Amino acid sequence: DAKTTQPPSMDCAEGRAANLPCNHSTISGNEYVYWYRQIHSQGPQYIIHGLKNNETNEMASLIITEDRKSSTLILPHATLRDTAVYYCIVRAYTGTASKLTFGTGTRLQVTL
Amino acid sequence: DTGVSQDPRHKITKRGQNVTFRCDPISEHNRLYWYRQTLGQGPEFLTYFQNEAQLEKSRLLSDRFSAERPKGSFSTLEIQRTEQGDSAMYLCASSSWGDQETQYFGPGTRLLVL
């Protein structure tokens, strides 16, 4: 699976949009971009995933560049409860199961 | 709540003892994964099952580790002769074919080996 690069940490003011970038320049055609987050001492929480189109759900939006070499996770109105480590993961989906390869993620701190 | 559950949530043991963790996946999920997470690192893959069959094992899974999923539902992870280096969070996840194999994680079992 392709390697991802994320900034180690980011800050965001409560109520503002949090934009978390991820580079995956070696992504292949059958690889999806997944985002998970992990709040302190809890298991990772699935947020969103996409292949090449932008995706939105009740938690966040995922913007993938046209060349698919980078993406941005957007939390539209960050709250203190969004403080967590956010992981960007690229994983091939070929109809069979495959492991997730986590990096060290971006630690997002939401402040008042 | 119909999410992934894990038991126990915390375990303290002495070096050399055996420990066993249990994972109950989301109903109808036929794939189940185990990961391990040490402090400051992201989770690392250990092994996964499709129904009862263990289909992949990481090199991290030493001979002291064994995982089972006897009836294709819950799974157990046993560590024999624990070492201090086994101290970590052990995470379980499950997925189904119909959801592009999106993995949903449980709360984890935190192990401390003294």
Task: Evaluate whether B22 touches B74 at the Cβ level (below 8 Å).
Answer: yes
Contact B105 A101 (CB under 8 A): no
Provide the pLDDT confidence category of residue B1 given band limits of 50, 70 and 90.
Answer: low
Task: Evaluate whether B32 touches B92 at the Cβ level (below 8 Å).
Answer: yes
Contact B100 A32 (CB under 8 A): yes
pLDDT digits 0-9 by tens, A81-97: 999 999 999 998 776 77
Closest CA to B12 of B81, B107, B87: B87
Residue A75 has pLDDT above 60, yes or no: yes
Task: Evaluate whether A18 touches A30 at the Cβ level (below 8 Å).
Answer: no
Closest CA to A47 of B102, B28, B19, B26: B102
Q: Quick check: B42 contacting A, CB < 8 Å?
A: yes
Provide the pLDDT confidence category of residue A30 given band limits of 50, 70 and 90.
Answer: confident
Determine the pLDDT at residue B91.
98
Per DSSP bridges, beta strands A31-38 and A84-92 are antiparallel
pLDDT digits 0-9 by tens, A36-59: 999 988 999 999 999 998 999 999
pLDDT digits 0-9 by tens, B31-78: 999 999 999 899 999 999 999 999 989 998 899 999 999 988 999 999
Determine the pLDDT at residue A93.
76
Q: Quick check: B110 contacting A, CB < 8 Å?
A: yes
Least confident of A20-24, B15-19, B62-66, B70-74: B70-74
Three-state DSSP string of chain A: CCCCECCCEEEEECCCCEEEEEECCCCCCCEEEEEEEECCCCCCEEEEEECCCCEECCCCEEEECCCCCEEEEEECCCCHHHCEEEEEEEEECCCCCCCCCCCCCEEEEEEC
pLDDT digits 0-9 by tens, B65-107: 999 999 889 999 999 999 999 999 999 999 987 777 899 999 9
Task: Evaluate whether B25 touches B4 at the Cβ level (below 8 Å).
Answer: yes
Contact B105 A98 (CB under 8 A): no
Instruction: Out of B95, B106, B108, name the one closest to residue A97 (CB).
Output: B95
Cα separations in angstroms, A33 against A89, B72, B83, B89 = 6, 29, 36, 25
- At which residue do the structure tokens 């956010």 appear? A86
Minimal Cα–Cα distance from A10 to chain B, Å?
A: 16
Determine the pLDDT at residue A4.
95
Determine the pLDDT at residue B2.
78
Determine the pLDDT at residue B87.
97
